Amino acid sequence: MPRDVHSDGGQEVSVPSAQRTVHVFSADRSLGIDAMPSLSSVRVFVEKGHVIGVEGSIAGTEDEPFAAGEVPASAEDRLENDAPIRLVRHVLGEVVLTPAFVDAHVHLELSQWNAPPAAPGESFSEWVRRVIAFRQSEAYDRRTAIAAGIAECLASGTVAVEDIAQPGTTGADYGTTVQQGRCERNAAFDDTPAVDVTAYFEIIDPAGDRISQWATAAEAFIDDCRRHGVQPGLSPHAPYTVPFAVLQKVMDLACQKGVSVAMHLAETAAEAELLAQRTGPFRRLLEERGLWNESLWPPEVTMRDYLRELARAPAARIIHGRYLRDAELRFLAERSDRMTLVVCPLTHEQFGREAYPRTFAQLPNVAVGSDSLASSPALRVSASLERLGAWGWAAGKRLWAIGTGQTLDRGPTFPAVGANADFLAWRIDGEGVGLSADADTWYDAILDRGELQAVYRRGRRIFPRGKHT
Ligand SMILES: [Zn+2]
């Protein structure tokens, strides 16, 4: 029930006697990510989708109690402002609660891909041709594909996605989900997406002769997304489709509109060659198509200039980045407050690409993306984390921090007070882990053999669907 609000000379004042509704989730255990300890016999208090309090015993101790925030024991208790409260109890039982996943790079519009995915040895340009052909085929239906992609994401515990949106996509395209195989308006979520969506409007302008067209379309997209509860952004596609002079225009618009950016950068050796020497397959491709414009490629512009330009945005995602060199990685690391490298391990392996150098594992600002079903077998963050773990980049807590948006500046993480109540309930054989095991051991065990029971976003169960639990 919403708190009564009265207007008093233009200032809103909450009335203390108004009733508050607080949801209490109890479970065997919760795992923290940052400073939050792991708790046994945990109770998490949620109001209006946010954690307001948490209590339990610090796991691995002799019942050492832990409590933070507001933790009312019963309806007779009063919270800080002395308001009567209505406690709604959710007994989740023998499950382990973890923060929910964040997928930092997807192309949801390709979620109905019906051809073989990328194959090792298939050239990147050949694969791009297949994607373009698919978009022009009868099987391609953007809105249905986006809905199917969102459904797949949330079924595997993802509550936030960062999507690359083709021109023509609207904010309303994200307000649907798939239920029992059918695509429906998502009425249960007030016409807003079932997961948090950041949608980056894709810009492709290799000859730099379409600036006013994409700028107008991008501005309309930004306004439309904001009306539909979608966070807008801009995606200058990649250096071979967005020369430096065009990127500068994109960044001017991003800064003016206050939106973040996502760019595929340093994905292939051919692209790195284009930037370093203005030669190679991408130069030939652009020339073949009559799109090579010498004036857009001043000889002094390097990969570092692309990074410096992207750093102007409020936040920037660098997608793939495999051919970034050490100095460029340092540039990224020094700007971890607003720049993030997004790695897509499933796509990387699908193409059979060269392994990342060891230095990448030291980067503090890494996130993972599932990419698209045209290049990856699943839209599943846990699968990406398993691969990243197998590459030796991280394990335990650190690996989950990468998969749950810790590097994406999303504020506190569940179950910390103030965090969004976005969490997952896992069933796992606790005896097999060892009840006093540390969080690292638990996290690794969940990735290895945990069974996902339920997905909660803002304190509401969004998967599996059915009666609210
Ligand atoms: Zn991509």
Cα 213 to ligand 1 centre (Å): 23
Look up the ipTM and state it.
0.99
Cα 58 to ligand 1 centre (Å): 41
Q: Residue 275 — φ and ψ, nearest 5°? A: -75, -35
Lowest mean pLDDT among 100-104, 272-276, 376-380, 461-465: 461-465
- Contact (Cβ atoms closer than 8 angstroms) between residue 41 and residue 23: no
Question: Residue 67: helix, strand or coil by DSSP?
Answer: strand
Cα 221 to ligand 1 centre (Å): 19
Cα 110 to ligand 1 centre (Å): 11
Cα 173 to ligand 1 centre (Å): 19
Cα 105 to ligand 1 centre (Å): 7
Cα 231 to ligand 1 centre (Å): 18
Handedness of CA 172, 177, 181, 184 (dihedral sign): negative
Tell me: the pLDDT tens digits for 300-354?
Answer: 999 999 999 999 999 999 999 999 999 999 999 999 999 999 999 999 998 888 8
- Contact (Cβ atoms closer than 8 angstroms) between residue 49 and residue 458: yes
Instruction: Answer whether CATH 3.20.20.140 is correct for domain 101-274+309-408.
Output: yes
Cα 267 to ligand 1 centre (Å): 10
Provide the pLDDT confidence category of residue 11 given band limits of 50, 70 and 90: very low
> What are the structural domain ranges in the chain?
5-99+414-463, 101-274+309-408
Cα 5 to ligand 1 centre (Å): 45
Cα 190 to ligand 1 centre (Å): 29
Q: Give the model's pLDDT for residue 77.
A: 53
Cα 275 to ligand 1 centre (Å): 19
Q: Give the model's pLDDT for residue 432.
A: 76
Cα 344 to ligand 1 centre (Å): 9
Cα 264 to ligand 1 centre (Å): 6
Residue type at 253 in one-letter notation: L
Cα 106 to ligand 1 centre (Å): 6
Q: Give the model's pLDDT for residue 75.
A: 47
Average pLDDT over the chain reads 87
- Examine the pLDDT at 188 and tell me if it is beyond 80: no
Percent of the chain's residues with pLDDT above 90 = 63
Cα 237 to ligand 1 centre (Å): 8
Which one has a higher pLDDT value, 383 or 172? 383
Element (H, E) at 91: strand 85-99
Cα 368 to ligand 1 centre (Å): 12
Cα 158 to ligand 1 centre (Å): 18
Q: Give the model's pLDDT for residue 59.
A: 87
Q: Give the model's pLDDT for residue 254.
A: 98
Q: What span, in angstroms and rounded, lies between the C-alpha atoms of 269 and 286?
A: 16
Lowest mean pLDDT among 8-12, 129-133, 251-255: 8-12
The fourth-level CATH superfamily of domain 5-99+414-463 is: Urease, subunit C, domain 1 (2.30.40.10)
Cα 342 to ligand 1 centre (Å): 10
DSSP H helix total and E strand total for the chain = 13, 20
H helices present in 209-367, as ranges: 211-227, 244-257, 269-277, 281-288, 303-310, 326-334, 345-350
Cα 319 to ligand 1 centre (Å): 7
Cα 371 to ligand 1 centre (Å): 5
Q: Give the model's pLDDT for residue 192.
A: 53
